[in-house]
Amino acid sequence: MESVADAIESLGNLADSKPVATLAARFAAEGFELALVGGPVRDAFLGRAVTDLDFATNASPDDIMRIVTPISEAQWDIGRDFGTIAARIDGETVEITTYRADSYDGETRKPVVVFGDSLQKDLERRDFSVNAMALRLPERVLVDPWNGVADLLSKTLTTPGAPELSFGDDPLRMMRAARFTSQLGFTVSPDTVRAMTKLAPRIDIVSVERVSDELTKLLKTDDPVAGIRLLVETGLAEHVLPEIPALKLEVDEHAHHKDVYEHSLTVLRQAIELEKSRPSIEGPDLVLRMAALLHDIGKPSTRKIERGGVVTFHHHDVVGAKLATKRLRTLRFDKETITSVARLVELHLRFFGYTEGAWTDSAVRRYVRDAGAQLERLHIITRADVTTRNVRKADRLSFAYDDLEARITAIAEAEGIAAVRPDLDGEQIMAILGIKPSRDVGDAYKFLLELRLDEGPLGDEEAEKRLRAWWSER
């Protein structure tokens, strides 16, 4: 935040924009109040781009629809029961909501929706003071009953009123605090942190879909680590992503293994930096970031102390992939996200065998084949997984992966291994062997695929020769 004066100027410019000015004039002519509320006001103060135009009014949903229809290109009745009408005015989408004065039953997250007649009361029910500011229109009067400007200046998150009441009403606000910590770079006030810690179990009454959506928003911020730390420190992570606090393994006095929790957060940060440097990755990439965060979650259950006090985590990649699948299913992520994350967790150690001895071209092809569509993400995860402070070791691993990527590129250019397929497809196999669709076709396909991986392209003639010899032996 540069200065209050700059923020007021930004708000003035926003109020002068055609869609806002048109809307304000129309509501004033009809005798209703209108205010720009929440995120747009906050972002104007922070000098951030305003992407959403949210308004509050004392007009009813029916009146809102009647008022905006003549001045808008389109209207959406997106939440009439909750008092919200959306419209597109001069190419901008706006959402206008009737003042609310909801109450909660204390047992579920579902509010008893009550329309109000006061902007002050509407702001009181919002999550944080920095989101509880409004700009009255067309008067351009800033309404800040909960000292949101002061919190913006101090970069602090507090709630309007007691945090216990706010989080008791809607426990998801605790996860929003973690997200805003990362998104805005703010610190949560001590009283608010204490309330989050006390009420962490209340997050269980929130729908899984809302929790997953908030977790996704957190991971897509520029630096999710601060928010993840807050979830862990307050105990919220134990309820929404328990595999992360479980990474806080006891580090032995001889440091025979690194701090897995801190290592995972570092890998996440490094993966985000690499994501930004790879044009082929469109960020923020949820799959990549989730895989980076979860890549070592198999370690707690595979940890063993061997002779000499050496700590091992054998097969934690495979175990971790299964745990990631289970957790993401519980959180109801889509199938593609679950499969992709689990595959990256399973493969994240594969490269480290490359430094122990030169891979054959066949091994390189199999690496590409196994990674499939996740190859570019696997490149990032593997590089990000190097967090050693030993500069010589880090350089050796980096040079080795440079070599592997160069070999992948060279073989791909020569053989087209970006999509490894046999020289003959299913139709050709059936024609050559004179068989119908069956398991034999699948077995023949696998045989030719193994040849392709071992030897590279054979050409149709040689592939047919090998196929006939294999078939005759069967």
Q: Give me the mean pLDDT over the 19-47 stretch.
A: 93
pLDDT for 15 equals 83
Q: What is the C-alpha separation between 40 and 134, in angstroms, rounded?
A: 9
Q: Is the predicted pLDDT of residue 255 greater than 50, yes or no? A: no
Q: Give me the mean pLDDT over the 237-266 stretch.
A: 81
Q: Which one is predicted more confidently, 253 or 166?
A: 166
| Residue matched to tokens 């809607």 | 170
pLDDT for 451 equals 82
Considering the domain architecture, whether residues 41 and 136 belong to the same structural domain is answered as yes
Q: 408-444 burial, b for 16+ CB within 10 Å, e for fewer? A: beebbeeeebeebebbbeeebbbebbeeeeeeebeeb
CB 72 within 8 A of CB 107: no
Provide the CATH number for the domain around residue 302: 1.10.3210
pLDDT for 105 equals 56
Q: Give me the mean pLDDT over the 143-172 stretch.
A: 94
Residue 306 burial by Cβ neighbours in a 10 Å radius (0-12, 13-18, 19+): exposed
Considering the domain architecture, whether residues 305 and 388 belong to the same structural domain is answered as yes
Q: Which one is predicted more confidently, 406 or 9?
A: 406
Q: Give me the mean pLDDT over the 200-219 stretch.
A: 97
Provide the CATH number for the domain around residue 187: 1.10.110.30
pLDDT interval class at 115 (50, 70, 90): confident
* Residue-averaged pLDDT of the chain: 88
Pairing of strands 156-157, 187-188: parallel
Q: Is the predicted pLDDT of residue 101 greater than 80, yes or no? A: no
Out of 106-110, 212-216, 246-250, the most confident range is 212-216
Domain span at residue 320?
244-419
Considering the domain architecture, whether residues 145 and 163 belong to the same structural domain is answered as no
Considering the domain architecture, whether residues 6 and 130 belong to the same structural domain is answered as yes
pLDDT interval class at 262 (50, 70, 90): very high
pLDDT interval class at 384 (50, 70, 90): very high
Considering the domain architecture, whether residues 33 and 108 belong to the same structural domain is answered as yes
Q: What percent of the chain has pLDDT over 70?
A: 92
Which of these three, 380, 403, 419, is where a domain ends?
419
Provide the CATH number for the domain around residue 1: 3.30.460.10
Q: Is the predicted pLDDT of residue 252 greater than 50, yes or no? A: no
pLDDT for 249 equals 75
Least confident range of 23-32, 395-404, 418-427: 418-427
SS (HEC) of the chain: CCCHHHHHHHHHHHHHCHHHHHHHHHHHHCCCCEEEECHHHHHHHHCCCCCCEEEEECCCHHHHHHHHHHHCCEEEEEEHHHCEEEEEECCEEEEEEECECCEECCCCCCEECCECCCHHHHHHCCCCHHHCCEEEECCCEEECCCCHHHHHHHCEECCCCCHHHHHHHCCHHHHHHHHHHHHHCCEECHHHHHHHHHHHHHHHHCCHHHHHHHHHHHHCCCCCHHHHHHHHHHCCHHHHCCCCHHHCCCCCCCCCCCCHHHHHHHHHHHHHHHHHHCCCCCCCCHHHHHHHHHCCCCHHHHCEECHHHCEECCCHHHHHHHHHHHHHHHCCCCHHHHHHHHHHHHHCCHHHHHHHCCCCHHHHHHHHHHHHHHHHHHHHHHHHCCCCCCHHHHHHHHHHHHHHHHHHHHHHHHHCHHHCCCCCCHHHHHHHHCCCCCHHHHHHHHHHHHHHHHHCCCCHHHHHHHHHHHHHHC
| Residue matched to tokens 């495979």 | 318
Q: Give me the mean pLDDT over the 421-432 stretch.
A: 87
* pTM of the shown model: 0.83
Q: Is the predicted pLDDT of residue 60 greater than 90, yes or no? A: yes
Considering the domain architecture, whether residues 132 and 48 belong to the same structural domain is answered as yes
pLDDT for 144 equals 94
Considering the domain architecture, whether residues 34 and 175 belong to the same structural domain is answered as no
Q: Give me the mean pLDDT over the 7-28 stretch.
A: 86
Considering the domain architecture, whether residues 106 and 223 belong to the same structural domain is answered as no
pLDDT for 310 equals 82
Q: 24-46 burial, b for 16+ CB within 10 Å, e for fewer? A: bebbeeeebbbbbbbbbbbbbbb
Q: Is the predicted pLDDT of residue 292 greater than 70, yes or no? A: yes
Which of these three, 211, 240, 269, is where a domain ends?
240
Which of these three, 224, 240, 256, is where a domain ends?
240
pLDDT interval class at 458 (50, 70, 90): confident
Considering the domain architecture, whether residues 105 and 231 belong to the same structural domain is answered as no
CB 295 within 8 A of CB 346: no
Considering the domain architecture, whether residues 340 and 282 belong to the same structural domain is answered as yes
CB atoms within 10 A of CB 290: 25
Considering the domain architecture, whether residues 90 and 212 belong to the same structural domain is answered as no
Q: Is the predicted pLDDT of residue 279 greater than 80, yes or no? A: yes
pLDDT for 330 equals 97
Number of domains in the chain: 4
Nearest by Cα to 228 from 344, 284, 317, 217 = 217
pLDDT interval class at 111 (50, 70, 90): low
Q: Give me the mean pLDDT over the 300-307 stretch.
A: 87
pLDDT for 408 equals 84
Considering the domain architecture, whether residues 191 and 284 belong to the same structural domain is answered as no
Least confident range of 99-113, 161-175, 283-297, 361-375: 99-113
Q: What is the C-alpha separation between 89 and 67, in angstroms, rounded?
A: 12
